[in-house]
Amino acid sequence: YPQAELIIRGKLVAKGLPKAKITFTSAEPDPRPADWGAINFLGSNGNIIEYCKFTFAYNGIHAHGSSARIAHSEFVKNGVGVSFKSEEETPGVEWFGKRSSLTVTGNYFARNKGGIGFRNSDAVITHNEIIDNKFFGLFPKENVKAEISKNEITGNKKGVYLYQAKGLKLTNNNIYDNKDYNISVAEAQDYDIDARNNWFGTINREKIEEMIFDKNDDSELGKVEFEPFLDRQVEWEQN
């Protein structure tokens, strides 16, 4: 990143307290998203981020070929809250080709351009509030192994946006009242997606389908399998 950033090649353990979070933010007098780069994990394992707050970053957390647990933290007014992928860009490094593996649980993502984006990586994403993000709540890409459950995904332009994504388990989430679509398939997405057993804010099948963009709208796209759907909101507590 051209802006200030922290590059982690060893291990970072940042543990705040519920009422005294560690804050990573801009030093500008008039702060804006992308004032600083990211906490950037490069081939780094065993990272722990708990009770932290990230504001005005390009990416709050960005990981290449790394592992981390991110819990009980806030990501507000960033470019993207959390972004991670396999290492594909630097053939000479020892972690080249390694997938990232992140657990993202009990966090708050709001008013970012995007909530969580990941590609060719493994993820457990649970018990998060992902709300009011400008472009997307979740953006899985390509070959992922991801368990996504018990999240509140609402008020985003697109709740879940999929690009060539396969290996996704999307179940027992509240995905409703997103602005364009609750679930949207990108042009190159020709894989079907299992999105059964989620709450979409209604039990009206036609209304649920209206808020899903998939094969029913463009025959070249994959289909989002959303039935059976839940008839009530998923209730969960921050873990």
What tens digit of pLDDT does each residue of 90-109 get?
777 776 778 999 999 999 99
pLDDT score of 196: 98
Mean per-residue pLDDT for 55-64?
96
Q: How far apart are CA 206 and CA 117, in angstroms?
A: 29
pTM: 0.95
* 88 contacts: CB under 8 Å, gap ≥ 6: 96, 97, 120
| Mean pLDDT (whole number) for 45-50 | 98
Q: Does 237 or 205 have the greater pLDDT score?
A: 205
| C-alpha span between 22 and 215 (Å, rounded) | 44
- Kind and range of the H or E run holding 209: helix 205-210
Smallest CA-to-CA distance from 124 within 176, 47, 70, 73 is with 70
pLDDT one-digit tens code per residue, 160-201: 999 999 999 999 999 999 999 999 999 888 889 999 999 999
Q: For residue 2, is pLDDT > 70?
A: no
Rounded to whole angstroms, the Cα distance separating 219 from 191 reads 12
pLDDT above 90 for 37: yes
For residue 47, pLDDT over 80 is answered with: yes
* Burial category of 36 from C-beta neighbours within 10 Å (exposed 0-12, middle 13-18, buried 19 and up): buried
